[in-house]
């Protein structure tokens, strides 16, 4: 439609030879009739270039056309991007899950949604420009017709402005547009989102640091690894450019020749935490909590520690003032408590500043969970007891009667692994070895028959940490340290 108007207006940019011929014929005819034309009629037609209004209108029409074409171009690109996003990758379920998460993170990091939001904006701009150009043009030709166009254009513009205003005033208004969000960002209007400018500043800082962190991971405790820079692709060699970033100079070289893929661990973490946060069904959340002890914590920003703690709390009856485990929630309590502990201990190990506020918040409302005997369920008893140690800073009661403890092998293996992290954290801060870790080691040494060797290897690593032996963080991740 814009093109049709452009073609129509285009003719106004050239001299009107028909008009000129008509004037000349009038002069010739007058001369033939012996009438001498005077004034304007006597002058020869002369073209002084197109009218400025026509040039203005034509320029706006071209702008509108360009905006429409650009929108079409971006829409096609968007289609390509979505095709790539929807493409199915090869590999195991875990690999595909990681790949999917990586793509999704990429979309979030690179503001795919914002780019897509620009499409309607461009089309809206094109329509506005067309309305304006038409009004201007028709006003030049015929004011009555122009008034119709001007009326509709003004109505449309006013409607849009009203919608934007409404959306800006109310966050709950369904007519949200990018413009309204932008206004809200700028004027910090909504009470709920007060300090939005500061938040946006923080957010942009966070995005920047995230991207920076992605290139320089791991970051805390001098976690040593190779920095990665480049696109987040399929993990194929071509996708990465590895930077020779070495660890701290006083860090011991790794014992095991197993290079840690921090990107994969980061993806696993964000996938599981995303699923946990998205799930509204308690059973689903519990099932997801069951996955958590298998992941490695690389970043404290995304860890739903408080929500996990709340989930654990829901398994207890607190009406009497003291938490009593509801029998029906026994399994759920165990899985969620284990997930909480796993995340909490690793979160401390990663040592981000944000951990402090989270831990303070949980510690302030923590009530002893592990003091009750759980009818021979040593796994549950020890897990809740460790939560008391980590979040409540209490003495481990569950080691008091070691003879009665009987752990399942998977739980015992997990305990060894997580206590190693805890030992790293506590001893690294110059504190003495906690009693629960000491109790665990001594218990492991007394067991007949002895526990599996990987557990004893973890004990050796803890003992090594107590002596201040330098250790590489990658070594902690190795499950079987033989």
Question: Given the rule CB under 8 A, which of 15-23, 204-212, 360-368, 435-443 is the region that contacts another protein?
Answer: 435-443
Is residue 482 within the footprint of another protein (CB under 8 A)?
A: yes
Residue 327 CB, nearest distance to another protein (Å)? 38
Question: Given the rule CB under 8 A, which of 21-29, 214-222, 305-313, 445-453 is the region that contacts another protein?
Answer: 445-453
Burial class (CB in 10 A: 0-12, 13-18, 19+), 165: middle
Q: How many residues bind another protein (CB under 8 A)?
A: 28
Based on CB atoms, which residue is closest to another protein, 387 or 459? 459
Question: Given the rule CB under 8 A, which of 161-169, 235-243, 276-284, 443-451 is the region that contacts another protein?
Answer: 443-451
Burial class (CB in 10 A: 0-12, 13-18, 19+), 128: middle
Q: Which 229-258 positions form the footprint of another protein (CB under 8 A)? A: 252, 255-256
Q: How far apart (Å, rounded) are the C-alpha atoms in residues 461 and 475?
A: 9
Based on CB atoms, which residue is closest to another protein, 369 or 456? 456
Report which secondary-structure segment, H or E, holds 105.
helix 93-109
Q: Which of 263, 314, 244 has its CA nearest to residue 285? A: 314
Q: Which 385-424 positions form the footprint of another protein (CB under 8 A)? A: none
270, 441, 443, 473: which one contacts another protein (CB under 8 A)?
Answer: 441
CB 348 within 8 A of CB 391: no
Based on CB atoms, which residue is closest to another protein, 1 or 460? 460
Is residue 470 within the footprint of another protein (CB under 8 A)?
A: yes
Q: How far apart (Å, rounded) are the C-alpha atoms in residues 461 and 463?
A: 5
Place of tokens 């070594």: 475
Residues 446-465, mask of contacts with another protein (x by CB under 8 A): ---xx--x--xx-xxx-xx-
DSSP 403: G
Q: With H, G, I as helix, E, B as strand and everything else as coil, classify residue 396.
A: coil
26, 152, 469, 479: which one contacts another protein (CB under 8 A)?
Answer: 469
Question: Residue 129, preceding bond cis, omega within 30 degrees?
Answer: no
Side-chain half-sphere of 228: how many Cα atoms within 13 Å? 21
**Which positions lie near another protein, rule CB under 8 A?**
252, 255-256, 432-433, 438, 441-442, 445, 449-450, 453, 456-457, 459-461, 463-464, 466-470, 475, 478, 481-482
């Amino acid at each position: 439609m814009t093109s049709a108007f452009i073609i129509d207006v285009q003719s106004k940019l050239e001299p009107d030879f028909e008009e000129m011929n008509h004037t000349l014929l009038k002069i010739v005819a007058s001369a033939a009739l012996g009438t001498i034309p005077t004034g304007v009629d006597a002058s020869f037609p002369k073209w002084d270039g197109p009218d400025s209004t026509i040039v203005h209108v034509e320029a706006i029409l071209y702008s509108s056309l360009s905006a429409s074409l650009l929108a079409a171009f971006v829409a096609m690109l968007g289609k390509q991007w979505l095709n790539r996003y929807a493409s199915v990758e090869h590999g195991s379920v875990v690999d595909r899950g990681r790949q999917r998460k990586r793509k999704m993170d990429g979309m979030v990091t690179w503001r795919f949604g914002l780019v897509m939001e620009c499409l309607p904006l461009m089309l809206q701009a094109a329509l506005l420009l067309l309305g304006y150009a038409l009004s201007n043009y028709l006003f030049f030709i015929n004011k009555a017709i122009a008034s119709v166009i001007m009326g509709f254009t003004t109505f449309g513009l006013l409607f849009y402005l009203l919608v934007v205003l409404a959306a800006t005033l109310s966050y709950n208004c369904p007519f949200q547009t990018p413009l309204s969000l932008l206004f809200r960002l700028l004027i910090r209007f909504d009470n709920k989102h007060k300090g939005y400018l500061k938040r946006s500043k923080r957010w942009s800082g966070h995005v920047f640091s995230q991207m920076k962190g992605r290139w320089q991971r791991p970051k805390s405790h001098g976690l040593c690894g190779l920095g990665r820079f480049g696109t987040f692709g399929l993990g194929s060699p071509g996708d990465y450019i590895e930077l020779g970033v070495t660890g701290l100079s006083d860090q011991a070289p790794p014992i095991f020749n197993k290079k840690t893929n921090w990107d994969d661990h980061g993806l696993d973490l964000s996938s599981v935490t995303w699923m946990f946060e998205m799930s509204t069904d308690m059973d689903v959340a519990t099932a997801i909590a069951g996955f958590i002890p298998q992941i490695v914590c690389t970043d404290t920003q995304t860890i739903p520690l408080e929500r996990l703690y709340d989930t654990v709390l829901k398994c207890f009856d607190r009406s009497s003032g003291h938490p009593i485990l509801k029998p029906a929630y026994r399994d759920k309590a165990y899985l969620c408590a284990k997930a909480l502990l796993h995340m909490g201990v690793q979160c401390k190990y990663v040592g981000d500043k944000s951990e402090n506020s989270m831990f303070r918040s949980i510690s302030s409302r923590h009530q002893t969970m592990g003091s009750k005997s759980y009818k021979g369920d040593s796994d549950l008893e020890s897990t809740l007891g460790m939560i008391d140690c980590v979040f409540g800073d209490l003495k481990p009661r569950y080691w008091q009667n070691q003879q009665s403890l009987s752990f399942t092998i998977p739980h015992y293996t997990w305990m060894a692994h997580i206590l190693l992290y805890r030992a790293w954290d506590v001893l690294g801060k110059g504190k003495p070895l906690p009693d629960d870790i000491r109790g665990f080691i001594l218990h492991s040494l007394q067991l007949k028959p002895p526990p599996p060797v990987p557990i004893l290897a973890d004990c050796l690593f803890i003992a090594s940490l107590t002596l201040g032996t330098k250790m590489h963080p990658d070594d902690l991740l190795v499950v079987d340290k033989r």
